[in-house]
Structure 1
Amino acid sequence: MNANTYVVIMAGGIGSRFWPFSRINHPKQFHDVLGIGESLLQSTVKRFEGICPPEHIYVVTNKEYASLVKEHLPNLAEEQLLLEPIGRNTAPCIAYATYKILAKDPNANIVVSPADHVILREESFKKCINQALEATKNRDILVTLGIKPTRPDTGYGYIQFLDNDHQDDLKKVKTFTEKPSLEIAQMFIDSGEFVWNSGIFIWNVKAIVQAFEEHLGELADTFEEGRAVLNTDKEEAFINRAYSHSRNISIDYGIMEKADNVFVIEGDFGWSDLGSWNSLYSVTDKTSEGNVVDGNILLYDVNNCIIKTPKDQLVVVQGLTDYIIAEHDNVLMICRREDEQKVKDFVSDAKSQKGNQYI
């Protein structure tokens, strides 16, 4: 463990593709999705034990979720909880954490991770993280972890890499492609030159600040101006002003797709971003009929379905194949698994036609 290593966990998303289980007032990162006795956020923090000192873990989330984070992570100090006044995507989120860490440690080496991913083989994951940290400790490069694709998934971003002549596993990134069509995704897989973008990044603080200055100059200027008040009692007021001036932009689009010093390490550690119902299906144990079942359920002639319903009611399903059946709170959703990308449309329609109480 290096004293200059920090971990930034992004925990502000709503997870609308996982509706109706993930809701605005209680997003999926605060749920025990896998039924293992801990939330996704708790699992994520636990995963980084031994990677950095506990006091070097920062959680960035919307201020509306402050009490939820404290409930799930009671040992997290106040200064380790970074509260965003409004959601502005991942670039401002990462900028906030970056400049806050810079103000404390100009030699920082940083891991950035979402709070809602599943890692089934954690020792292999830690090996990849430590390998990346070793690479970024003395080199001003931006590293992302790539995942070997197992299917032509249209919900993931894809990274094309260049083969290198070096012995290490660092590969230069050639292109990023966000959520391609099914046909193009299949072409990517057939080529053998692409990996899924895990959304997990590693870099030293100098390299990422330089990238912000070069590719997102307005954002860099905003946070540089306020660097002196970060880690003081004036931080909250500054962040409120900074976010009001920050545009909504992802780190992938704002920096990773434009920078020429981006590298990828391919990992094989049982990763899923749990961004959708099918991603949960892919990492969960199944019955002999191929069903994923969580609830008080009777099935008759049902195959390859994922069914997640409250345990205090009996659910009977007959004659369905390849369906999602999900009930949480005041919403029941029944949807073909192949149409899971339409869940965002369902959320939008539910909000506009039925009201905010359903989202």
Structure 2
Amino acid sequence: MNSTPSAIDRLYSVIPAGGIGSRLWPLSRADAPKFLHDLSGSGQSLLRDTFDRLAPLSGEQRIMVVTGRAHRAAVEEQLTNLRDHNVVLESEPRDSTAAIALAAAILEKREPGVIIGSFAADHVIANPDRFRAAVAQGVEVADAGYIVTIGITPTDPAVGFGYIRCGDTLEVEGAPDALVVTNFVEKPDLATAKGYLDAGNYLWNAGMFISRADKLLEQLGATEPELLAGVLALAEAWDTPKRGEMVDKIWPTLKKIAIDYSVAEPAAAAGTLAVIPGDFDWDDVGDFASIAKLHSSGRGTDLAILGKNARVLADSSSGIVVSQSKRVISLIGVRDIVVVDTPDALLVTTSEHAQRVKSVVDALRAGGSGDVL
């Protein structure tokens, strides 16, 4: 009888839960980032939705969350089944490479040969069964030695996403949809995005990665050896009394770099990056326009209203209203409006300009108004 665990049995899910979601200010703040909010209408936070989506794949006991120290209490309150030793706390944000690589290094030390799947805490996926089927294929490809991403079939020429250029079919048993990735492409302008859509061999980069932990760390070492050395030193001390001391010493020195640049792009250049096209509805709820679209689609309404006690009167208006105050908000004859009303800050813009909210956050920070961030 074969006692070797199958590839899917070796899967450990990792949820990087960081960032403040600056394009969703003033709803999303440093102390209450977007993954802690219910933005999908599910009745629970995006983080809880992600945990529930992954539990049937890896089991609740094999899910690790990497988050900031300031969010520990909120994360543990929302994820009561999360094991204490699977909470990895960052002393400060260092971008996705450090977060995912540290998780990989800790898990590889605990369980050599582990396969990790990294899935953001703040995405909305409407077809969990199809998502899990794509991940299962990705796990088989990862077990064959590839670093794997899951790409999303574009529905429009979006300029807010990076793109994945797909190549030939991979011959991996259990993964009939797997393709070689020829290269990653930065966020394009509109004309270029339309060209990608017409070409038909480009997918949106959704930031999901599946890999044997040792393979991911090996690739990181080839491109960012100092970052890898720091991560490995942290992992060595992680399950010892020296953890706190080493985190305070090493973590702030780690290079800030997205995993797309440190791992995915070099792997694509080396021919070791694969993609599984995701046959499911996906949204990264990156701005208020996407939230408005999410809540309006198929619901027969032009105006999305979020807030338990929202008091909104609307006439011939469309867009989104997010209310966290007791004020009455009246809209008359305005189209594609975005109104976010909180006790200490008010945002008014349009769906067309929703991506520019980040510039407001940057201006507030530069002007010394960090108290509202």
Aligned to 1:199: 207
Partner residue of 2:3? none
Q: TM-score, normalised by structure 2?
A: 0.91
Decide which moves more: 21-30 or 151-160.
151-160
The equivalences for 1:65-104 within 5 A come to: 65-104=71-110
**Aligned-pair identity (%):** 30
Q: Which runs of 5+ in 1 are unaligned?
A: none
Q: Whole-Å Cα distance in 1 between the matches of residues 234 and 127 of structure 2?
A: 40
Measured on the aligned residues, the alpha-carbon RMSD in Å equals 1.8
Compute the displacement of 1:311 (Å).
6.6
Count residues in correspondence.
Answer: 357
CA distance in 2, matches of 1:81, 1:97: 10
Q: Could you list the runs of 5+ residues in structure 2 that have no partner in the other structure? A: 1-5
Residue in structure 1 matched with residue 163 of structure 2 by the alignment: 158
Alignment match, 1:141: 146
1:248 Cα offset (Å): 0.6
Q: What CA distance in whole angstroms lies between the structure 2 residues aligned with 1:354 and 1:319?
A: 36
What letter matches 1:135 in structure 2? V
> Partners in 2 of 1:179 and 1:78 — Cα distance?
37
How many Å separate the matches in 1 of 2:99 and 2:41? 29
Q: CA deviation at 1:206?
A: 2.0
Partner amino acid, structure 2, of 1:141: Y
Secondary structure of 2:119's aligned partner = strand
Q: Tell which deviates more after alignment, 85-94 or 165-174.
A: 165-174
Q: Pick from 270, 287, 293: which aligns with 1:282? A: 293
Q: What are the equivalent positions in structure 2 for 1:307-322 lying under 5 Å apart?
A: 307-310=321-324, 312-322=326-336
Quick check: 1:299 aligned with 2:338?
no
Shift of 1:289: 5.4
**Superposed displacement of residue 4, structure 1:** 1.9
| Stretch deviating more after TM superposition (276-285 or 121-130) | 276-285
Q: Which residue of 2 aligns with 1:266?
A: 277
Q: Deviations over 1:176-209 (max 9, x none)?
A: 1222222222221121121111111111112112
Q: What one-letter code is carried by the residue in structure 2 that aligns with 1:200?
A: M
Structure 1 counterpart of 2:366, from 347, 352, 357: 352
* 3-state SS in 1 of match to 2:241: coil
Question: Structure 1 residue 352: deviation in Å?
Answer: 3.2
Measure the CA separation in 1 of the matches of 2:199 and 2:292: 26
Deviation sequence 1:229-270 (CA, Å, 0-9, x none):
222222222222221221110000111111121111111211
The answer (yes or no) to whether the contact 2:170–2:178 under 8 Å persists in 1 is no
- Helix, strand or coil: the match of 2:231? helix
Deviates more, 1:265-274 or 1:28-37: 28-37
Structure-2 residue corresponding to 1:171: 179
